[in-house]
Amino acid sequence: MNCFQIMKSFETYLEKTKEIGKILSINHSVIEVSGLPGLKLREMVITEDEEKGLAFGLKEKTAEILMFETENLKAGKKVTRTDEIFKIPINQNLLGRIIDPLCRPIDGLGPITGEKNFLSIEKKAPDITQRMKVRNFLETGTMIVDLLVPLGYGQRELVIGDGKTGKTTLLLQTILSQAKKGVVCVYVLIGKEISNVKTIEQYLKEFKILEKTILVVATPNNPATIIYLAPYSGITIAEYFRDKGENVLIVFDDLTTHAKIYREISLLLKRAPGRSVYPGDIFHIHATLMERAGNIKNNQGKEVSITALPVAETLENDLSGYIQTNLMAMTDGHIFFDVEEFKKGRRPAINAFLSVSRVGNQTKELIDQELARSVRKTMIDYQRALEISQFGGELPEETKKIIDFGEKIEALFNQDPKTIISRNFQLFLFGLLLSGFWERKDAKLMAVMNNEILTHYKNGEFSEIEEEIEKIKNIEELKAFVKNYHPKIEQILSWQA
């Protein structure tokens, strides 16, 4: 059963509201109707062919309606009010399903069973008295992010960069890391092709986390109305699970497409365009969406969160676009996928110097903060040394050491898309580097050997290390602890002896 199946017939609603209108004009998925004086914003309307729409704009004698279905629309057809605000049906059984923004299943697994809660897709964001400080670290399982651009539960972090630079891979790694911890994950695909949906579905099934994930999908074949509603349906589903006391991670992929769809709708409605032809309220549209995420105290006094990862696409690494800068202004930081890093073979291709996390650092332990400062300083020195080396000539020994160490840090940050690494084991891997384990190996050989260590890690061979790392408070303790494991690691890598 979906939100439309519980609706009554045209005649029933006509009898109920006593108001009948007619379609004056049709422009793609937008229609103009007359004769409904009592119509309210966001109210559902229904045509004589049982096609449904949403009241989006009210004029003196007419109304602008966004239609969900467009097959049988014709000028002159009858329309009536429903006196019902648009709501979507949500329950626990959405987990593991692929649905459209109207909560209709599109995965071929049959209807979503169970009693439904019908919730409006437009809800006021939690007020300041409910909100709590972001203080708990959220592991993405990706080393460069967890160390240099850390996230916290309840944070809103923009993931930005050109298409095909690895943004989806990071999002899936984060979902994998969090779903394994029991966090409910909602992935909203806005105007994405079915092939993208299948790739994501396959990844989630491969790691057996689809049952903790809900995919809300709007494809380019859907009317603009459906695509426009996708992020609102996603955040409403996230709020449902949050209000049940569960932490939620939601991905909006992507809001640049959503902005284009809203621009298309606004132009169809003949609303005055603003900067870059986007409507003037586009900032408000996205800001109110982002405000609904956050870390709050619920009615039972429990701390629960919705962590939002909106995505924005850039063109040729340009971070100064209108929608991109809007989203930067309303989020708690951004992770920048750099085309130049991608061309160099970095995976993930994140530019740590142009990425920022405004609230994530406060969630980290002192040892993590100390290590992050040290790594950033080393990478700055490494970049300077590389610039010097471009002039040719014999390099001083100290400069050679800086370059070698920088290359090894970059090798550590290169990570397989299907590998997630816990925070404690990330510290162990850096401990190996800092304690001199890789001193006699070059960066390429180290990368190969590090991958072998990760293979053993994925097989569960280092669980005792992770428990012990939890007790370590500073880098010196970390180096001393890891040195004791040098013989074990050498034994694992004995084929290199």
| Catalytic residue IDs | 358
DSSP state of 279: B
Residue 212: which residues within 8 A CB-CB, separation 6 or more?
A: 95, 96, 179, 182, 183, 184, 185
Half-sphere exposure of 427 (CA within 13 A, CB side): 29
Q: Give the relative orientation of helices 423-434 and 397-413 as an angle to the nearest 10 degrees.
A: 160
CA 100 from chain centre, in angstroms, equals 17
Written as six digits, the tokens of 437 are 């384990």
Task: Please measure the distance between the N-terminal and C-terminal CA atoms of the chain and give it in whole angstroms.
Answer: 64
Phi, psi (deg, nearest 5) at residue 477: -65, -40
Q: Evaluate the omega torsion of the peptide bond into residue 348 and state whether it is cis, within 30 degrees of 0.
A: yes
Residue 70 in contact with residue 223, Cβ under 8 Å? yes
Dihedral, CA of residue 27, residue 30, residue 36 and residue 38, to nearest 10: -150
Q: How many residues does the chain have?
A: 497
Task: Identify which of 444, 458, 450, 460 has the alpha carbon closest to the alpha carbon of residue 489.
Answer: 450
- Contact in structure between 369 and 166 (CB atoms under 8 Å): no
Question: 386: burial class by Cβ within 10 Å (0-12, 13-18, 19+)?
Answer: middle
